[in-house]
Structure 1
Amino acid sequence: MKFIYETMYILRPDLNDEAIDAAIEKYQSLLRDNGAEIIETQHRGKRRLAYEITKHREGVYIQMNYTGDGSQIAGMERAMRISTEVIRYLTVKQEVPKVEEVEAVAAEA
């Protein structure tokens, strides 16, 4: 069964544009090679962090939305954990409303 997932990760701020693009492609291909389908990837740019992470005050935020059965996540997160370019990551499973709920909301409108 396929679910929708969202992974937000933060890359080191000192990476150049080519290194950022290579990192994005690396994690997308890890997912694709294991059967996930990329829906959307957003490069959210360099932002100030709420607190210092491994001596960094800024980071480059990347958001990936994709579908899969969940088995793809472990391999991608393992690659992120051992990578020197990723300073933080988080994956969440998106809640998909049931058809009945969508129809009930539409009927009320």
Structure 2
Amino acid sequence: MSKVYEYETMYILRPDQGDEVVDGTIAKYENFLREQGVEDIQVQHRGKRRLAYEINKHRDGVYVQMNYKGGGHAVAGLERAMRLSEEVIRYLTIKHEVPKSESEAEPEAVEAEA
């Protein structure tokens, strides 16, 4: 069984698409993650914003953020699909450090008095 990590994927869609296409693209990637066994998917549609610099002759982009828990295989598949997509102009995935719960934490070493 693979380890489960928390991930955040931010991607930018082309600004020249209609609302239906944008919503369909967001649903497509969300469904892809569900098929991969990812849990606790949270999608935030950030809307159209000005880019810091031009990407593929676009000055604006539609920002979408997804937070989820899953294995690395799901992230690899998602990024491959985004790389091959015409709608996505940029994407980035970050793996968050998950703090250990107290039950999983290593017990502290006890110093012996000499």
Alignment TM class, shorter chain as reference? 0.7 to 0.9
Distance 1:17 1:95 in 2: 34
Asked if structure 2 preserves the Cα contact closer than 8 Å seen for 1:9 and 1:90, the reply is: yes
Counterpart residue identity of residue 57, structure 2 = K
In the TM superposition, what is the alpha-carbon distance from 1:98 to its structure 2 partner?
2.6
1:34 counterpart = 2:36: yes
| Seq. identity, % | 66
Cα offsets for 1:10-54 (capped at 9, x unmatched): 000011110011000110111111111243100000000000000
| TM-score w.r.t. length of structure 2 | 0.84
Larger radius of gyration: 2
- Paired residue for 1:64? 66
Cα offsets for 1:72-101 (capped at 9, x unmatched): 01111111111110000000101122335x
Q: Which structure 2 residues correspond to residues 25-104 of structure 1 after superposition, within 5 A?
A: 25-100=27-102
Structure 1: stretches of 5+ with no match in the other structure: 101-109
Counterpart residue identity of residue 18, structure 2 = N
Distance 1:53 1:4 in 2: 28
RMSD of aligned C-alpha atoms?
Answer: 1.0
Structure 1 runs of 4+ with >4 Å offset: none
1:99 alignment partner, SS class: coil
Count of residue pairs the alignment pairs up: 100
Counterpart residue identity of residue 32, structure 1 = R
2:15 alignment partner, SS class: coil
